[in-house]
Every structure is written in C-alpha cells, then in structure tokens.
Amino acid sequence: MSRLPPVRVARAATSVRTAVQGLTRRMVPPPIGVLELMTGLIEANTLYAVARLGVPDALADGPRTAADVAAELGTHPDATFRLLRAAAGHGLLDQDGDRFALTTLGRTLLSDAPDSMRAVVLMIGDPRYQSVWGRLPESVTTGAAQAEAVHGVSMWELLDRDPDYAATFNEAMTRLTALDWPTVEAAYDFTPFRRIVDVGGGHGQLLASMLTAAPAAEGVLLEQESLLPHAEQRLREAGVLSRCRLEGGSFFERVPDDGDLYVMRRVVHDFDDEQALALLTTVRRDMPAGATLLLLESVVPPGGGPHFSKSLDLDMLLFAGGRERTEQEFAALLGKAGLEMTRIVPTISMICLVEARPAA
C-alpha cells in the first residue's frame, strides 16, 4: 500500500496553498488579477501544443536546441523556439540560450512516462473538447449540454463515431483513474469482497487495481461492447484476466446480479438527477440485498471556497448534462433509489468514496 499523508495533513497543506494563491491574486490590482485568470487559457493552449507536437519526447534523451527539435518534429524553427521559450516560462522546460531541457513537470508529458499526463492534456486541449467549452454561456442560458449543438451528436455518440478522439478520451480516463488509485487504496479495504463489479468500468484500469489489491476477489466489468477488447487487454496486462468476467451492455437495462461490491467511478456524475436515479434504481434492483455500492466521485463541499469539483461540475453540464453533487444531494438521490448512504470516505485526492447499501 502506498505511503501517503493522512487526509487532515493533506487538507491543511491544500488550505495553505489556497491561501498563498489568494494572496498572490491580491498582490496585483484587480484588473491584472482578471487578466491573469483569463490568460490561463493561453497557458493551457501552450501546454496542449507542446504535448500534441511531441516536444517532450523529442527532449527525452537530454537538452537540445529548438532548431534540432524543429528538425525532428518537422515544425517551423522560429515558431518552435517561441513555443519552447513560452513553455519554459511556465516551468515545463529549462532554457539555456537556445537549448531546452525537460523539467520534472515537463517529464509528465512524455508519452511513455509511467505517470504520463499527455493523454489528459490531449483530451482537454483538443478542439473537439474546447469548442464545447466555448458554449458555456449557452449552456448556462438553457441549462442544457452543448456537445450536440457543436458536433451534431451527443458526447457518447461522438466517442462512438470518432475512434481517434475515443482513444484519447479513454486513455485519459485510464490515466486519471491510475492517478488517484493510490489515494483510494489508502482509504478503503477491498480485501473483504469476493466479487467486485465495476459498472461502466471503461478500459479496466480501476478493476485491475482493485483486483491487485484484493488477490482473492473475482471481478466483473460491465461496459459498452466497443470498449471490452481494450479492457480485456488491460486486465491481461495486469495479470488478473483469469479472475474476470467481461459483460457488454447498458447499465440502464441491467447490471450483473452476483457481486458483493458494486463500484462506479465517475459514472453517476455524467447524468442529471433523472437519469442518475434510473441508473441507481437498476443497480439497486439487480444487486444482492447484502451487497455494498461504492461511488467514486467528487463531493462538492459547502461554502464558497475554491474546489476542483466546482469546475468539473461545469464540464459535466456542458458535455453530458450531468452534475457534481453535495453530500446531501448524494444522500437524497441514493435514498430515492432505495439505497441508504452509509458513509463518505474522503481521500487526499479529489475523489471521495460514497458508500451505500440497499435500504432495509
């Protein structure tokens, strides 16, 4: 099990960071503060270009000149120098004259780094994603998701029709799952369970991790048919495929009925209350009476302070018409589905474990 700081220590550190960020903002005149907030968009696009063009991979073996990098990537030499200089300004690269080297931050954009964030940057920075964010005003005006207005189809249909973007999206999900797994493993004991069902388990990253943590358990992955070959491959790589059953189908229709732990990571937040209730009602109907349900989700804290869940909430609104929820909202939703929320287990990451059981 990973050695991580306790939740209260991590929260204290986050409070200090938040206070320092607030102080930094108050140290400049308000118009400059607003300008700095807005130019975050330019920084994000710089990061995207660096990742998209493969600059980190070109610098993997050591420092190089911008001209060398441009020759390898087939990019414009002067524009490449200007991109690398800007990236150095954001801490991704070290600059020494016209030579550039990767920093620790920049190394996370290497395509084969074990902790690579490249797929996440490519998913968020992609024009197919950014064009939807451009319609946040419309989403707030109407309360409706905007993926269809931009792409002509819902986000899920787009992923179905666009294998290139689906590959980026699913790899990003896998990476994000791997990123917060150590914090989940440190907070929850998976060993008492004999059959773990991952509902909407994507590429199988979470199920692979849970089965590694619980060596005596079997696993079931329920996903859309098209993702199953990828999940099978991931589960095989993790050495747990022999303990797994993969099922294709829609979780709105049925879920496997033979688990004692049902897990849904970042699935319920994809849906508005009506759809989320339909999904949870199906899970409640099909799960055995003594089984446990675990939702891995962000929980919106009370009060007005900064929290990642509040930004992710807008992302859900825009792309799927979904939402992030408060503790009270989770309890109410689960209650309507015939489930009783037993506890919320915090972790040091943005993920909480919302635990529930069928109500008596």
Ligand X SMILES: C[S@@+](CC[C@H](N)C(=O)[O-])C[C@H]1O[C@@H](n2cnc3c(N)ncnc32)[C@H](O)[C@@H]1O
- Binding stretches for ligand X (CB under 6 A): 156, 173, 177, 200-202, 206, 223-224, 227, 250-252, 265-267, 270
Active site residue 203: no
Q: At what angle do helices 30-38 and 7-26 cross, to 10 degrees?
A: 120
Local structure of 149: helix, strand or coil: helix
Q: In 3D, which of 347, 357, 355, 353 has the Cα closest to residue 9?
A: 347
**To the nearest whole angstrom, how small is the minimum distance from the Cβ of residue 30 to ligand X?**
37
Q: Active site residue: 76, 151, 203, 269, which one?
A: 269
Minimum distance from residue 169 beta carbon to ligand X (Å):
8
Among residues 80 and 177, whose Cβ is nearest to ligand X?
A: 177
Q: What's the min distance (Å) between Cβ of 249 and ligand X?
A: 7
The least distance separating ligand X from the CB of residue 264, rounded to whole angstroms, comes to 7
Q: Which amino acid is at 214?
A: A
In the complex with ligand X, which residue's Cβ is closer, 103 or 250?
A: 250
Rounded to the nearest whole angstrom, what is the least distance from the CB of residue 266 to ligand X in the complex? 4
Using CB atoms within 10 A of its CB, is residue 3 exposed (0-12), middle (13-18) or buried (19+)? Answer: exposed
**Nearest to 297, CA basis, from 330, 261, 339, 265:** 265
The sheet with strand 64-65 has its strands ordered as 64-65, 99-102, 93-96
Closest contact distance (angstroms) between CB of 91 and ligand X is: 28
* Residue 239 token pair: 């050495």
57 or 223: whose CB is closer to ligand X? 223
Strand order from edge to edge, sheet including 261-265: 244-248, 218-223, 195-199, 261-265, 292-297, 352-358, 339-346
101 vs 345, beta carbon nearer ligand X:
345
CB burial readout 122-158, b (16+ within 10 A) else e: bbbbbebbeebbebeeebeeeeebbbeebbeeebeeb
| Smaller CB separation from ligand X, 42 or 278 | 278
Q: What is the DSSP letter of 54?
A: T
Question: How far, rounded to the nearest angstrom, does the alpha carbon of residue 114 sit from its chain's CA centroid?
Answer: 16
Structure tokens, 209: 């991790």
Please tell me the distance from the alpha carbon of residue 105 to that of residue 281, in angstroms, as a whole number. Answer: 43
Closer residue to ligand X in complex, CB, 55/231: 231
Q: Active-site positions?
A: 269
